[in-house]
Structure 1
Amino acid sequence: MSGLRGFTGNGPSPWTDLERPPLDAARLRRALVVPGGLWTSLEVVTETGSTNSDLAARGRAGEAEGAVLVAEEQNAGRGRLERQWSAPARSGLFLSLLLRPGPDVPTERYGWMPLLVGVAAAATLSRVAELDVGLKWPNDLQVTMDGGERKIGGILTELAGDALVPGIGINVSLRQDELPVPTAASLALAGAAVTDRDTLLRALLREFADLYEEWRQAGGDPHASGLLPAYTARCTTIGRSVRVQLPGDRELLGRAVSIDGDGRLVVRTADGTEQAVGAGDVVHVRPQPDQR
């Protein structure tokens, strides 16, 4: 599951069950696992290594689409590029979803899944928590605090046989002294109107189910489903000067100008050349003097 890099925790949290209550699994199931709906099961576990790893194994074993696995705490959570990620128990939302979009969606469009999850998460937090949440390409959730961009969560999607397993991590109640790096944040620190995790999780899964159905009915087409314009509207990377750290210790410097039809970031370099990037770490930087 994606999240904030390098966080290994700061020892046992002094928070009580009243301050960080456990999720109400039974109530969540009654609200979300309904006839004709996307979600077929919802399980909340006290602790696990990685919800993505657990659900990917179940996906490879043939479990039906629509399973949701939520952990109150992860001890081997993974972000992009195999970064380790963890957070205090019950301090956020840590979950994975089991999806089987085929045969409606061709596999070449599966790369849109983390962007779809990002749109669902950002839209939910903007509406329910009343925060202006943006998306740093490809899958970081950001808010603006103290004049800077802060990461509140992220997404990691894995292929498990013919299933897709997107994982979501959102920091909800982390305090300042529990943050891993100065560029991190939580909903509570950002002044969210709602930090009740049950409310946020119900809204997120409903929002995702609606967007996923539209995307699948459109055959995964990002234009016909409205996913491309929805993502572009929330993307904080477009229009920014960026440094993209590419595989093989390479770097690409330029201005991010668009998202293409495959979900790749299009970067225009100083000489006017445009290059589409499908994978890489993006750093927002100040414009260079000769950059257009």
Structure 2
Amino acid sequence: MTPRDDADNTEPEPATGGDGRWSDLDRPPLNAGALRRALVRDSGLWSGVEVVRSTGSTNADLVALAGEGKAEEGLILLAEEQTAGRGRLDRQWTAPVRSGLFFSVLLKPAGVPVTRWGWLPLLAGVGVATGLARAAGIDTSLKWPNDVLVTVGDEERKAGGILAERAGEDGVVIGIGINVTLREDELPVPTAGSLALAGATRTDRDSLLRAVLRSLERWYLRWQAVEGDPVSSGLQETYAAGCATLGRMVRAELPGDRSVVGEAVAVDGDGRLVLATGEGVQEPVGAGDVVHLRPA
């Protein structure tokens, strides 16, 4: 499949039904041409911007394009709607058309040992959280490994998620979903949130996307320049500073139907979450689902 750039078609469709490009005037379509002009530079990471009106999953599409040799590093694939979006652990990610940012990017971290590629989802989390905080004027934090949290009222809610998938021998596709203008009655679950519900000063998706991608580009190039070293790149320290999981009691649901409860005390050099259990053992968690536990 070759992505189509439908967003460059500037002639609006009649707003007679729920599917027209301008059927919700509070949610205009992305401007692919303007995004290309702002993001694609000869000396930069981003090599192209493609926008499709609807697809099953931008991650699946970009992994397929990379496997066919039809995608360069730095290609950004966005969808105004995803009908089969996936989060971690194959959870479904659904949202109304044009209510958020749903996109994937292809990275080929040449010069970085594969043993350090596990930092890429955490790096993407730092790039997204810092870019949104700057552009939307809200406080953001990260739930390990890479859920983006915002505060709605006095509740901590998830407004974004990240999924990394290998693409061939030399590539990784990073999929990112961010709820931008979701209203309370549109939330898929009560624990979900959006930038608008968190009081964002800006919800223009073009501006937010540019800020996120520029932040992601800075962190990726800095990390790649030092062969993926999380310490000298500053990634490990920055991630820990913005991680809402650290210092809290959590339950980690691990593969094999095993769970561990303990205090999250550190993120180690491999990006794993280190739990101090009640038995006095420090256990690193590299994969699994982490639940923040409320104080007794």
TM-score computed with the length of structure 2 as normaliser: 0.91
**1:219-262 C-alpha deviation (Å, 9 max, x unpaired):** 00000110000100000000000011111111100100000000
Q: 1:185 aligns with which of 193, 196, 206?
A: 193
Which residue among 13, 18, 40 is the counterpart of 2:47?
40
**Match status 1:24 vs 2:27:** no
Amino acid at match of 1:150: R
Q: In the alignment, does 2:146 pair up with 1:146?
A: no
* CA shift for structure 1 position 84: 1.4
Within 2, Cα distance between the matches of 1:284 and 1:86? Answer: 23
Q: What aligned pairs does 1:1-292 form with structure 2 within 5 A after superposition?
A: 16-62=23-69, 63-102=71-110, 104-161=111-168, 162-287=170-295
Q: Distance in 2 between matches of 1:266 and 1:165?
A: 26
**Larger relative contact order (C-alpha < 8 A, sep ≥ 6)?**
1
What is the one-letter code of the residue matched to 1:25?
A: A
Q: Which deviations, in whole Å up to 9, do the C-alpha atoms of 1:247-279 show, x marking residues without a partner? A: 111110010000000000000001210000001
Distance in 2, matches of 1:179 and 1:17, equals: 17
SS of equivalent to 2:165? strand
> For residues 12 and 192 of structure 1, what CA distance do their matches in structure 2 show?
26
Contact 2:153 2:198 in 1 (8 A): no
Instruction: Report SS of the residue matched to 2:107.
Output: coil
Q: Unaligned stretches of 5+ in structure 1? A: 1-10
1:16: how far off?
A: 3.3
Contact 2:94 / 2:188 at 8 angstroms: preserved in 1? no
What is the letter of the counterpart of residue 256 of structure 1?
A
Return the alpha-carbon distance in structure 1 between the equivalents of residues 127 and 190 of structure 2. 26
Cα distance in 1 for partners of 2:156, 2:184 equals 15
Please state whether the residue corresponding to 1:266 is helix, strand or coil. Answer: strand
Q: Distance in 1 between matches of 2:23 and 2:195?
A: 18
1:287 shift after superposition: 4.4
Output the CA distance in 2 between the equivalents of 1:225 and 1:217: 8
Could you tell me which amino acid in structure 2 is paired with residue 193 of structure 1? T
The Cα offsets for residues 169-199 of structure 1, whole Å up to 9 and x where unpaired, read as: 0000001100011111111111101100000
> Number of matched residues?
277
User: Does the 8 A contact of 1:60 with 1:163 survive in 2?
Assistant: no
SS of the residue corresponding to residue 235 of structure 1 reads: coil
SS of the aligned residue for 2:77 comes to strand
Identity of aligned residues (%): 61
How far off its partner does 1:148 sit?
A: 1.8
Q: Deviations over 1:94-128 (max 9, x none)?
A: 000001002x1011111000100100110011111
How far off is 1:12 after superposition?
7.5
Q: CA separation in 2, counterparts of 1:183 and 1:286?
A: 14
Q: In the aligned structure 2, how far is the partner of 1:85 from the partner of 1:154?
A: 9
Unaligned runs of 5+ in 2: 1-17
Q: Is the 8 A contact 1:12 1:88 kept in 2?
A: no
CA distance in 1, matches of 2:35, 2:76: 11
CA distance, structure 2, for counterparts of residue 249 and residue 20 of structure 1:
42
Deviation beyond 6 Å, 4+ runs, structure 1: none
Give the SS at the match of 1:97: strand
How far the C-alpha of 1:17 sits from its partner, in A, is 4.0
Query: Could you tell me which residue of structure 2 aligns to residue 8 of structure 1?
Result: none
TM-aligned CA deviation for residue 18 of structure 1: 2.0
